[in-house]
Every structure is written in C-alpha cells, then in structure tokens.
C-alpha cells in the first residue's frame, strides 16, 4: 500500500531501486498511470540484471532478454529510465556484484527504504520491513548516492529504455 500511494502522489520525480521484479504490470500500475497522466514526472528505475550461474551467454543477449521482459511487464505508455550495474553480468566471480538496494524516493521529499522486492509476493503477501522517511535532507542525500553512480558510470542505461 505504501508504494502504491507513493507512486500515485508523485509530482516531479520517482526513483525506484530493486533487486527483483515479477508481475511488473501489477506492481508498477500506479506508477505507470501517474507517468502517463503527468508528462513532467521523471522516473528512474535501478535494477539487478542477473547472470545465472554457469550462464556464458554474451552480456548483450542477457540485457536484451531482460529489457524485453521488462518492456512486456511495463503497464504504461511512457517508460522510465532504467539503469543497471554492469558488474552483475561479469563472468568473473571476483568482479560480479549484486544490485540489492531496495528503496523508493519521491519528489526529493519522501524516502521508503525497505526489505521488499518489487514482486507481488513482497508487496502483497510477505512479511517485510521498511521505513518511510519524510525528510527532504535525508531524501536528497539518498538520491545523491544514485546520481553519483550514474555520473561515474558505475551504473549504465539498460539498452531499450
């Protein structure tokens, strides 16, 4: 409920960071509707693109498959900007990393930091914990961490988004 309400109330910007997305059409319905109804709303999504164990496919193939799946799940006309950490796709176990941060930032005023993934189970069934912070100072600092990752190219745009 918190996430839906945050998405529906957004006026200027939304940043979503998640590890897993399943049933994105349902989970992101309120956000997509808000994006379609509010053209000035800027939305950034930070995701984990996974290379399964022993998957030796080209990085470009994994990215295309992920982007196609996300596009099929996305319920709106406008799409968010989507970023991923290229280290999640490394074949080198010493380099590979996970994108595990889960939070929502709305209009640089409200932050929701949570254990929940963006799945129906996590949003509707699981027992998860989260904290809603109504502090512009905290929220701007949290967003700045993501902005720095984009600026330093530690995360890059998902092709097709």
Token digits of residue 80: 């968010």
Quick: pLDDT tens for 64-115: 999 999 999 999 999 999 999 999 999 988 899 989 999 999 999 999 999 8
pLDDT tens per residue across span 8-39: 999 999 999 987 888 889 889 999 999 999 99
Q: Which fold has domain 2-157?
A: Endonuclease; Chain A (3.30.870)
pLDDT at 145 over 90: yes
Distances 67 to 48, 50, 63, 113, 157 between C-alpha atoms, Å: 12, 12, 6, 25, 11
Q: Is 39 exposed, middle or buried (0-12, 13-18, 19+ CB in 10 A)?
A: exposed
Asked if the model's pLDDT at residue 156 lies above 80, the reply is: yes
| pLDDT 10s digits, 96-108 | 998 999 999 999 9
* Prediction pTM value: 0.91
């Amino acid at each position: 409920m918190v996430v839906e309400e945050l998405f529906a109330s957004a006026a200027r910007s939304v940043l979503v960071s998640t590890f897993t997305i399943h049933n994105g059409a349902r989970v992101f319905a309120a956000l997509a509707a808000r994006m379609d109804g509010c053209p000035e709303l800027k939305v950034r999504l930070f995701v984990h693109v996974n290379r399964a164990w022993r998957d030796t496919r080209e990085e470009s193939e994994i990215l295309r498959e992920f982007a196609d799946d996300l596009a099929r799940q996305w319920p709106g006309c406008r799409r968010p900007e989507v970023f991923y950490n290229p280290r999640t796709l490394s074949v080198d176990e010493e380099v590979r990393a996970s994108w595990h941060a889960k939070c929502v930032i709305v209009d640089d005023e409200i932050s929701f930091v949570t254990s929940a993934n963006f799945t129906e189970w996590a949003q509707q069934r699981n027992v998860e914990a989260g904290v809603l912070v109504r502090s512009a100072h905290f929220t701007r600092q949290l967003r700045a961490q993501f902005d720095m990752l984009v600026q330093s190219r530690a995360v890059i745009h998902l092709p097709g988004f």
